[in-house]
A and B are shown apart, each in its own frame.
Chain A
Amino acid sequence: MSGASVAKGRHLPNSLTSPAARMVKSWESLLLVVVVVIFIVNSFASPYFLDPWNLSDATYNFTEKLMIAFAMAPLIIAGEIDLSVASIMALASTAMGYAVTQGAGTPELVGVGVTVGLLCGVFNAVLVTGIGLPSIVVTIGTMSLFRGISYIVLGDKAYTGYPAGFAYFGQGYVWYVFSFELILVALLAVAFGVLLHRTNFGRAVYAIGNNATAALFSGIRVGRVKFILFLLTGVMSGVASVCLTSRLGSTRPSIALGTELEVVTMVVLGGVNILGGSGTIPGVVLAALVMGLVTFGFGLLNVPGIVMSIFIGLLLIGVIALPRLWAQFRARRG
């Protein structure tokens, strides 16, 4: 087209706010401040806190959940949700336990765990994007189904006897205090950060979450993107299951019970809008640090785990409620 390059309007700058100014005002910086404050408070509250090995142990509070959160974040940004992740972990773990009884070695176990996760993800994806059912109910259903299968297989028994080499994924250290899980989660953070923030796929995720109809009208294959997101969530649940099973060294059908709630809380605390459209991977990482440090601090203070779950519940509601309360307050005054 001949005239396409003739600019006749006025010049539009790329941006008026500098990246630094935007960063200062972001939710992520607020989280960063919170992380630093908790860190400082904890180091004063307990002499054991600053020990590198203690800190390293504390990372297990969030590593497996964060792996799933990396996939859950784009899924929620795209306007869907997967509540079956903890049940996928249970089913993958059960499958690995069964594989052990069939004489599987460590590489096969990892393959089984991840593959089961992938298949569960595909199952959710087909129900949601193929048949067009709402993801909340579908995954409430598969939440029952996947864990139910674990119960059918295991009943009140447990699988143990995992090979010694398998323990590396949940208990091994790559270098000094840096555990395999910590390194893996760091690599995944980079991978998912790039996927969501630096690729066409990531852009499509945001477009779908903000306006799926307009995204479809812009030539984006909405169904395919959502399918991949469910599949990724399944795969990451499988990976997390490998790590958790390796760390615990046993499988019961109740393994990872309630983890879906913590993952969703982590994602929402990280600044992802529960209704879709916005959120970042760095935010989710910082949210994981907040939750991990608080858990660790409570642990050092001998606060029981269930109190921690109250805290998570309050956090989940509070993080969404406070900005809305603040907006209503401001609207009423102004």
Chain B
Amino acid sequence: MSRMLKSREALLALAILVLIGLIATRFPEFVAPSNLANVFNDTAPLIILALAQMVVILTKCIDLSIAATLALCGMVAAMLDVAGVPMVVILPVAMALGACLGAVNGLLVWKLNIPPIVVTLGTMTIYRGIIFLISGGKWINDQQMSPLFKSLPRADILGLPVLSWCAIAVVAIFAVLVGRTALGRSFFAVGGNAHAAVYTGINVGRTQFAAFVLSGTLAGLVGYLWVARYAVAYVDIASGFELDVVAACVIGGISIAGGVGSVGGALLGALFLGVIKNALPVIGISPFWQMAISGTAIILAIAVNATEGRSRGRVILKSAEHVA
């Protein structure tokens, strides 16, 4: 249990509590359970994608196409719904499509050794462009979508909407995946010390590929949830959301250099941004502040990560041994 409370996560949890506390002193309605549940529900897509991005970053890659994948899968889900395809088919199709889009990224990184940042910058525009091609640039709106399609994410189970339960389920699954499976541990090994990973029989490229497929699959899931929740699908949905996702990861202490991070960190990083986003209108600050705040948070977080992880030189002197 003490390992769960590593300083980074504890610090972040404390920061979130302090933030909520400060808001509550002026606006007590913000801490009403129903409002906090709303904040969580609103942050659910960010939580899911932050976890997806986390495994990619753990393997020393980055997925900037995650929001474009979300948008493309969301559009396909909406179009299938308009075409009358039943829900039991739509959701698997959206996730499978996401997995395929992630696999494209993963293959380019694994088989051709192209830097992940270039691959996903490219696929980010390609995937967005494909939405335009398949939709003809048109919107799919509220009236065109079937009631079941729209209501599923909002359906109430034990007082929480399905969207929230999805986030909780993904957190639970990731806790097991990352902590208890060979694949999960190999994400850390590949990013932490690729050289040593090879010696232990881990295929670095294939592990990175798996991370991208996982990331795409979850982007597919969120694609449906997003489109259904907002009851609209068009080319630019979730535009720029990839930056929020990266911000959540970086704030959560996931090192962009790979190999360092935790499910708790990604969750808290996402919640931190979610609380800020939902608090801004409450305390009367324009929501336009959010982008600059994310940017600042990214920069501060990497600066903190960098100073924590700074390596010390070789220790040769015996007298210096216990100091280092």
Contacts and interface: CB of A to CB of B under 8 A. Distances in A.
A316 B122 contact: yes
Interface in A302-316: 304, 306-307, 309-310, 312-314, 316
A125 interface: no
B119 A317 contact: yes
B114 A312 contact: no
Contacts of A144: 243, 247, 291-292, 294-295, 298
Interface string B298-311: 11001100100000
A117 B283 CA distance: 32
Nearest to A321: B112
A144 B132 CA distance: 25
A228 B299 CA distance: 21
Interface in A39-84: 81
Nearest to A316: B122
Interface stretch (B6-14, B123-131, B166-174, B207-215): B123-131
Nearest to A156: B288
A309 B129 contact: yes
A306 B137 contact: yes
Nearest to A145: B295
B129 A313 contact: yes
Given A134-B257, A313-B123, A313-B126, A320 B306 contact: no
Interface string A81-106: 10000000000000000000000000
A138 B256 CA distance: 11
Given A146-B295, A309-B128, A274 B118 contact: yes
> Interface on chain A toward B: helix, strand, loop, or mixed SS?
helix
B235 interface: yes
Nearest to A275: B115
Contacts of A152: 286, 288-289, 292
A325 B111 CA distance: 9
Nearest to A325: B112
- B interface bracket (residues with beta carbon within 8 Å of A): 35 or more
Contacts of B130: 310
Interface in A103-142: 127, 131-134, 136-138, 140-142
B141 interface: no
Contact of A314 (B122, B133, B294): B122
Contacts of B295: 141-148
A310 B118 contact: no
Contact of A317 (B118, B288, B299, B306): B118
B126 A310 contact: yes
A306 B108 contact: no
7 closest A-B pairs (Cβ-Cβ)? A148-B292, A144-B295, A145-B295, A310-B129, A148-B291, A141-B298, A313-B125
Interface of A: 81, 127, 131-134, 136-138, 140-149, 151-152, 154-156, 253, 258, 261, 264-265, 268, 274-275, 304, 306-307, 309-310, 312-314, 316-317, 320-321, 324-325, 328
